[in-house]
Each structure stands twice: as C-alpha cells, then as structure tokens.
Amino acid sequence: MLNEERIALMTRMASYEAGEGKRNMQIGRFFRGDYVAIQVLKSFVSATISFLMIFAIYVYYNLESFMEELYEIDLLAFARDILTKYAWFVGVYIVIAYIVCTVKYAHSRRNLHAYYNNLKKLGHMYQK
C-alpha cells in the first residue's frame, strides 16, 4: 500500500540531496572552526594572488616613471607602503570571507539538521 506522506517526504528529501544538500553535506563534514579556517586560508591565497595581479598591472602601467626614478625613490618606504596596502586589502577581504563563511556554515547546519530530522521521521514511518 502506498503511503503518500512517506512518498512526499522522500521526494522532498531526494530533491534536497540532489541540489543544495550536496553542498551542505560537504560543508557539514567539517567542524565549524575547521571549515572557517580552510575558507579563510583559501581567501588569503585568493586575495594575495589578486593583489599581486593588481600590483603587477600598476607597476607595468608606471614602468617608465619607475625606471626614471629608480635610484631616487626610497625603496624601503615604497615597500612599506605597498605592504601596508597589501595588509589592508587582505585583512578586509579575510574579514568579509570570515563573515560569509560563518553565515554559510550556520545555514548549512540548520538545513542539515532539518534533513536529519526528516530522515528520522522517515525511519519511524517505516517502523510503524
């Protein structure tokens, strides 16, 4: 005998598993701290690459003036200036990434919690 309630629940769960659930399960495998740390690390790498690319374009764009003033500019001050900008860029990006990842993790856990509850409910339905 078909149980409509059970079929509806299973369909909903299957739909979740195929879509958002797949991503959520990947996130759910980690502890919150681990997940956020990995994402922040990835963000650090991304931000560094991005900054380097922008810096390379900046240097190339100003190549002529750099070549002319190479012996006149204070390289130490210049490096300090660039590193400060780099720290700001990476710092702001990592803070944003931290907030995004924390929210994402909480959202995934909440959805997974509902999914596991449904799984239990389904188990009870089969036991009846």
Q: Which residues bind other proteins (CB under 8 A)?
A: 42, 46-47, 49-50, 53-54, 56-57, 60-61, 63-64, 93, 97, 100
| Nearest residue (CB) to other proteins, 12 versus 80 | 12
| Nearest residue (CB) to other proteins, 46 versus 118 | 46
Task: Write down the H helix ranges in the chain.
Answer: 4-18, 20-28, 32-61, 63-68, 75-127
Give CA separation, 67 vs 60, 74, 78, in Å. Answer: 11, 13, 14
What would the two tokens of residue 115 be?
Answer: 């999914």
What would the two tokens of residue 34 be?
Answer: 């681990």
Least distance (Å) from other proteins to the CB of residue 27? 13
| Nearest residue (CB) to other proteins, 54 versus 125 | 54
| Nearest residue (CB) to other proteins, 53 versus 119 | 53
Least distance (Å) from other proteins to the CB of residue 37? 16
Least distance (Å) from other proteins to the CB of residue 70? 16
